[in-house]
Amino acid sequence: MTRSIINAAVLASVACFCLNAEPIHLKVKVPFEFRMGEVRMPAGDYVVSEDRGLVKVGNTAGSPTAVYVTVPTSRRNSKVAGSVEFNVYNGEHFLHRLWEPESHRGLIVPQGKYEKEVARRSTGITLTAVALGKK
């Protein structure tokens, strides 16, 4: 019973965060190939849009596009540039987190099945960030 109450409270707080927040629209130039979930994304210019926790990342050249459910997060300092962060395992990049410019607001992209598999086989993890700007 207590566990279900805690789960309900967590879901309600996530839903409130998503419903009260303005949608995000960002542009980013990613200089390397990466994955978002199971989708392989080539290096290039991307448009990132988010609405109610659903993030869409699309290459401005037309393809591919990936859509993923995210988890909200926040940071203390809002006076910093926005960025897109990638987990890197043995040279393979996975979209991990998005930070909106000049805001406390961020979004975490949960690990997909393939990323979990690569992480298990990896000797370590590093974090790479790419700066972005408003669309």
Helices and strands, number each (H, E), in the chain: 2, 12
pLDDT, average across residues 6-14: 44
pTM > 0.85: no
Q: What is the pLDDT of residues 68-100, one digit of tens each?
A: 899 999 988 878 888 999 999 999 999 999 998
Question: What residues contact residue 102 under an 8 Å CB cut-off, 6+ apart?
Answer: 78, 79, 80, 81, 82
Check if the beta carbon of residue 27 is closer than 8 Å to that of residue 131.
no
> Where along the chain do its domains lie?
2-134
Predicted confidence (pLDDT) per residue in 16-64, tens digit: 444 456 777 788 999 999 999 889 999 999 998 888 888 999 988 776 7
